[in-house]
């Protein structure tokens, strides 16, 4: 059985930013600690840390993690829409409107007074 898997790119049409921060150190450049962040505007980035010699692998890991998170967010949004459609369909099939719960009234509070402790 041959099945074709089609995946939409959740990052298509977006401008992504990759920022590499290299820590100051007396070590050789490839051994210096670095931080890689990948993201798009108005969303939290994915951050990976390691040494500068592995920056290509860090970028790949961060990019992959960001894509997975974007796909999960897209899937979550689609499932929320399906649930909302089911709720609307269920609500529209009822003949009688649902009774609204009456608020519970509490006893009135006594007025505030100034107290003197001296």
pLDDT at 100: 66
pLDDT < 50 regions, the chain: none
d(CA 31, CA 25): 9
The pTM of the full predicted model, rounded to 2 decimals, is 0.55
Residue 11's nearest CA partner among 66, 88, 89 is: 66
pLDDT in tens, 69-87: 887 877 776 656 565 555 5
pLDDT at 36: 94
pLDDT at 28: 93
pLDDT at 90: 56
pLDDT at 74: 74
């Amino acid at each position: 059985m041959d099945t074709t898997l089609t995946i939409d790119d959740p990052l298509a049409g977006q401008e992504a930013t990759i920022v590499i921060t290299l820590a100051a150190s007396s070590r050789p450049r490839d051994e210096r600690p670095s931080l890689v962040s990948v993201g798009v505007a108005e969303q939290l980035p994915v951050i990976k840390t390691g040494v500068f010699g592995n920056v290509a692998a860090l970028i790949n890991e961060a990019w992959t993690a960001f894509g997975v998170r974007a796909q999960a967010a897209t899937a979550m949004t689609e499932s929320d829409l399906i649930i909302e459609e089911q709720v609307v369909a269920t609500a529209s099939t009822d003949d009688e409107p649902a009774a609204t719960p009456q608020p519970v009234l509490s006893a009135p509070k006594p007025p505030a007074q100034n107290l003197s402790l001296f």
